[in-house]
Structure 1
Amino acid sequence: MTLGVLALLGFQLVDSAFVARLGTAPLAAQSFTFPLTFLIIGVQVGLGIAIAALISRALGAGEMARARRLGSLVLMVGGVIMALLALVLWWAQQPIFSRLGADAATLGLIRGYWAPQLLAAWLGALLYFIYSLFRAHGDTRLPGKMMVVTSLVNLVLDPVLIFGLGPWAGLGLPGAAWATVLAFGSGLVIAVSRLRRQDWLAIGGLRDEAAYSARPFLGIAGPAMISQLMPPLAAMLAISIVATLGEASVAAWGLASRLETLALVVVLALTMSLPPWIGRCYGAGDWTQVRQLLRLALKVVVIWQLCLGLTLALTAPWLAQLLAGSPDVRSDLTVLIRFLLPSYAALGVCMLVVSAGNALGWPLRAMLMSAARLFLCYLPCLWLGAWLAGLEGLAVGAAVGNVLAGWVAWKLLRRMLAVKSAAEGKKTVLLSRERT
C-alpha cells in the first residue's frame, strides 16, 4: 500500500510540477481547486472507512454472506453519492471560488479545468471503493499495483495533453485533468474485471441488508465523513488566509499541499491497511493484538516522519527549484518546506489515532479529535502566525499546530486504551467469580 499510495500521490505532485511550467497563474488556479478536491476525497474516504470497518468485522465474525451483501450495497450507494456531490460542486463553482479569493482571470482558468477534474474525481472515487473492498478482504496487493499503473498512465499522458505533441498545441491546464480521467478510467476497467473473478458480491437480499446495516453504517460513515470533511473546510479557510499574502504564496501553498500528501505516504498507507486488520481483531475480541498493532504503527510513523522531514528540510532550496518555475514561488516554497515537513511526525500520530478510532468503534471520538486538530490547534496557529510575520509566521504557526495536534491525539489514545483495559479487567474478574 505504501508503494501504491506513493505512486498515486506522486502523480498528483507531477501534475502540479507540469502545471507550474505553464506559469504562476495556472498553478494558482489549480491551487484554488485543492480544497474542493479534498472535500470530494473526504467524502469518499469516509465511505471507504465504513466499508472496510463493517466488512472486516463481518469477516472476523465469520459472516461471509453478509460481507458479500455489504460489498454490493456500498459500491452502488457510494457511486450515486459521489455523482451527486460532483454535480453540486460543478453548479456552485463560481460563488465558491470567488469566496475563496479567486479573481476574474483565475475564475476563467478554473472554469475550463473544473468539469474534467470533477469527472476524474468521480472515477477515482469508484476506484477507491473497489480498493476498499479488496483491502477489507485482506488483499492490499491489487490496490497497490493499480495505483502504480494509473500513476504511470497519468505520467505519460500529462505532458502530451498539457503541452501537446508535435503540431498539436495541447490543452494547457485542463489537460492535467483529462490525463487523470484517462488514467482512472483505465484503472477502473482493470479493477472491475478483477473484482468479477472474486466471490465478494451478492445480488439477493440487498434490501433487507440495507435496512439492517443502515444504522451501523451511518454510525461509522457519518462521523468518519465529517472527520474527513473537516480538513477540506480547514483547507478552504487556510487558503483564504494565504491568499492575503499574494499569488506567489498561493501557488507555493498549493505545491506544499501536494508535497505534504507525498511526504505522508507511509502514514496514509497505514491508515488504509491498518483499519481492516484492527477491524478483524475487534470482531474476534483480540484486544491484545490491537494494542500491539497500534504501538508498532505509532513507532514507525514517528521515526520515519522525523527522519524524512529533517532530510527534506535540509534540501528545501533544491527541492523547491525542482518543483517551482517562478523565483518568488521557489522562495516561498522553501520556507514552507523547512518548517512544515518535520512537524508531520506529530501530524502522522494524529491521523493514525483518528483512523484507529473509526476501526475500533469510536467514530465520535475520532471526529472530535479531527475537529480539535484543525480548529483548535492548526487554524488558530496558522492565522496568528500569518498576522504576526507573514509567510514565515504562517509556516511556523502551521508547524506548531501540527505538534499540538499530535500531542493531544497521543493523550486521547492512551486514555481510550486505558478505559478499555479497565473494562476488560472487570469483565475477567466477573467471569472468574461466576465460574467459582
Structure 2
Amino acid sequence: MAIGVLALLGFQLVDSAFVARLGTAQLAAQSFTFPLSFLIIGIQVGLGIAIAAMISRALGAGQEVRARRLGSLVLLIGTATIAFLTLLLWAIQTPVFASLGANAATRELIRGYWAPQLLAAWLGAGLYFGYSLFRAHGDTWLPGKMMVVTSLVNLVLDPLLIFGIGDWDGLGLPGAAWATAIAFSCGLLVLGRRLRETDWLSWQGLGLEARASARPFAGIAGPAMIGQLMPPLAAMLAITAVASLGETSVAAWGLASRLETLSLMVVLAMTMSLPPWLGRCYGAGDWAQIHRLLRLALKVIVVWQLVLGLVMALGASWLALALSGNPEVQDDLAMLIRFLLPSYAALGVCMIVVSAGNALGWPLRAMLMSAARLFIFYLPCLWLGAYLGGLAGLAAGAAVGNLLAGLAAWRVLRRVLASPRRRATQGNAQA
C-alpha cells in the first residue's frame, strides 16, 4: 500500500508540476480547486472506512454471507453519493470559488478544468470503494499494484494532453484532469474484471441487509465522514488566509499541499491497511494484538516522518526548484517545506489515532479528535501566525498546530486503551 500511495500521490505532485509550467495563474487556479477536491475525497474515505470496518468485523465474526451483501450494498451507495456530490459542486462553483478569493480571470480558468476534474473525482471514488473491498478481505496487493498502474498511465498522458504533441497545442489546464479521468477509467476496468472473479459480492437480500445495517453503518460512516470533511473545510479556511497574501503564495501553498500528501504516503498506507486488521482483531476480541499493532505503527510513523521531514527541509531549495519555474513561488515553497515537513511526524500520530478509532468502535472520539486537531490547534495557530508574520508566520503556526495535535492524540489513545489493556493483561494472566 505504501508503494501504491507513493505512486498515486507522486503523480498528483507531478501533475501540479506540469501545471506550474503553464504559468502561475494556471497553478493558482488549480490550487483553488484543492479544498473542494479534498471534500469529495473526504466523503469517499469516510464511506470507505465504514466499508472496511463493517466487512472486516463480519469476517472476523465468521459472517461471510453478510460480508458479501455488505460489499454490494456499499458499492452502490458510495458511487451514487459521490455522483450527487459532484453534480452539486458543479452547480455551485461560481459562488464557492468567489468566496475562496478567486477573481474573475481565475474563475474562468477553473471553469474549463472543473468539469473533467469532477468526472475524474467520481471515477476515482468508484476505484477507491473497490480498493476498500479488497483491503477488507485482506488483499492490499492488488490495490497497491493498481495505484501504480493508474499513476503510470496518468504520468504518460499528462504532458501529452496538457502541452500537446506535434502541431497540436494540447488542452492546457483541463488536460491534467482528462489524463486523470482516463487513468482511473483504465483502473476501473481492471478492478471490475477482478471483482467478477471473486465471491465477495451478493445481490440477494440487499433490501433486508440495508435495513439491518443502516444504523451501524451510519454509526461508523457518519462520524467518519464528518471527520473526513473537516480537513477540506479547514483547507478552505486556510486558503482564504493564504489568498490575502497574493497569487504567488496561493501557488506555493498549492504545491505544498501536494507535497504534504506525498510525504505522508506511509501514514496514508497505514490508515488504509491497518483498520481492516484492527477490525478483525476487534471482532475476535484480541485486544493484546491490537495494542501490539498500534505500538508498532506509531513507532514507525514517528521515526519515518521525522527523518523524511528533516531531509526534505534540508533540500527545500532544490525541491522547490524542481517543482516550479517561478523564483518567487520557489522561495515561498522552500519556506513552507522547512516549517511544515518535520511537523508531519506529529500529524501522522493524529491520523493513525483517528483511523484506529474508526476501526475499534469509537468513531465519535475519532471525529472529535479530528475536530480538535483542525479547529483548536491547526487553524488558530495558522491564523495567528499569518497575522503576526505573513506567510512565514502562517507556516510556523501550522507546524505548531500539528505538534500540539499529535501530542493530544497520543494522550487520548493512551486513555482510551487503558481499560482494554487491563482486560487483555488479565486474560493473558488467566491463560
TM-score interval, smaller chain: over 0.9
Match of 1:257 in 2: 257
In 1, Cα distance between equivalents of 2:137 and 2:339: 39
1:346 aligns with 2:346: yes
Q: Deviations over 1:32-67 (max 9, x none)?
A: 000000000000000000000000000000000000
Verify the 8 A CA contact 2:161 2:172 in the aligned structure 1.
Answer: yes
Q: Deviations over 1:246-295 (max 9, x none)?
A: 00000000000000000000000000000000000000000000000000
1:193 aligns with 2:193: yes
In 2, Cα distance between equivalents of 1:266 and 1:34: 21
Q: Deviations over 1:272-330 (max 9, x none)?
A: 00000000000000000000000000000000000000000000000000001111100
In 2, Cα distance between equivalents of 1:93 and 1:213: 35
Residue 426 of structure 1, CA deviation? 8.3
In 2, Cα distance between equivalents of 1:257 and 1:421: 37
Letter in 1 for 2:235: A
Match of 2:232 in 1: 232
Residue 421 of structure 1, CA deviation? 2.9
Verify the 8 A CA contact 2:288 2:424 in the aligned structure 1.
Answer: no
Between 87-96 and 420-429, report the one with greater CA deviation: 420-429
Match of 1:12 in 2: 12
Give the count of matched residue pairs. 430
Verify the 8 A CA contact 2:12 2:258 in the aligned structure 1.
Answer: yes
In 2, Cα distance between equivalents of 1:109 and 1:165: 22
Match of 1:60 in 2: 60
Aligned to 1:325, what secondary structure does the other structure show? coil
Match of 1:149 in 2: 149
TM-score, normalisation: structure 2: 0.98
In 2, Cα distance between equivalents of 1:38 and 1:428: 44
Aligned to 2:22, what secondary structure does the other structure show? coil
Match of 2:375 in 1: 375
1:300 aligns with 2:321: no
Q: Give the 5 Å matches for 1:30-429.
A: 30-422=30-422
Verify the 8 A CA contact 2:287 2:424 in the aligned structure 1.
Answer: no
Letter in 2 for 1:201: L
In 1, Cα distance between equivalents of 2:77 and 2:107: 32
Residue 420 of structure 1, CA deviation? 2.5
Verify the 8 A CA contact 2:248 2:328 in the aligned structure 1.
Answer: yes
Residue 203 of structure 1, CA deviation? 1.2
Listed as ranges, the gaps of 5+ residues in structure 1 are: none
Verify the 8 A CA contact 2:69 2:205 in the aligned structure 1.
Answer: yes
In 2, Cα distance between equivalents of 1:194 and 1:201: 12
In 2, Cα distance between equivalents of 1:249 and 1:428: 56
Q: Deviations over 1:101-159 (max 9, x none)?
A: 00000000000000000000000000000000000000000000000000000000000
Letter in 2 for 1:282: Y
Residue 419 of structure 1, CA deviation? 2.8
Letter in 1 for 2:80: V
Letter in 1 for 2:66: R
In 2, Cα distance between equivalents of 1:143 and 1:225: 22
Letter in 1 for 2:171: L
In 2, Cα distance between equivalents of 1:205 and 1:427: 39
In 1, Cα distance between equivalents of 2:426 and 2:20: 60
Aligned to 1:167, what secondary structure does the other structure show? coil
In 2, Cα distance between equivalents of 1:30 and 1:139: 34
Letter in 2 for 1:199: D
Listed as ranges, the gaps of 5+ residues in structure 2 are: none
Aligned to 1:21, what secondary structure does the other structure show? helix
Letter in 2 for 1:151: S
Structure 1 residues 68, 326: closer, same or farther in 2, change over 3 A? same
In 2, Cα distance between equivalents of 1:419 and 1:335: 44
In 2, Cα distance between equivalents of 1:427 and 1:342: 40
Letter in 1 for 2:179: A
In 2, Cα distance between equivalents of 1:426 and 1:86: 51
In 2, Cα distance between equivalents of 1:428 and 1:189: 48
Root mean square deviation of aligned Cα: 1.2
In 2, Cα distance between equivalents of 1:347 and 1:381: 14
Identity percentage of aligned residues: 75
TM-score, normalisation: structure 1: 0.97
In 1, Cα distance between equivalents of 2:352 and 2:247: 34
Letter in 2 for 1:339: F
